[in-house]
Amino acid sequence: MISYGPTVTEGFRALAVFTDRILKGGNASTIPIEQARSISLTVNMPAAKALGLKVPPALLARADRIVD
């Protein structure tokens, strides 16, 4: 019903950076892990309705994406 985390595009971006470093000869064990640069809050309204939950307007106002 609610998802809070890095976006899919953020994950693919990180994957491309790591792949590039490895293909250029970098050792995979020495490449530092990076923290996600953008975090997204998604609210799935059909799932909330199916569960009989009312989502507070304050949460909807903070959501980056609302699935209708």
Tell me how far the alpha carbon of residue 44 is from its chain's centroid: 14
For the chain, what's the residue count?
A: 68
Indicate the pLDDT class of residue 10, thresholds 50, 70 and 90. confident
pLDDT at position 37 is 84
pLDDT at position 12 is 92
Distance CA 55, CA 44 (A): 10
**21 token code pair:** 């470093």
Domain count within the chain? 1
Residue 38 belongs to domain spanning = 2-67
pLDDT at position 7 is 87
Distance CA 24, CA 18 (A): 10
What is the average per-residue pLDDT within 12-41? Answer: 91
pTM for this predicted structure: 0.70
Cα–Cα distances (Å) from 5 to 35, 36, 41, 68, in that order, read 11, 9, 7, 19
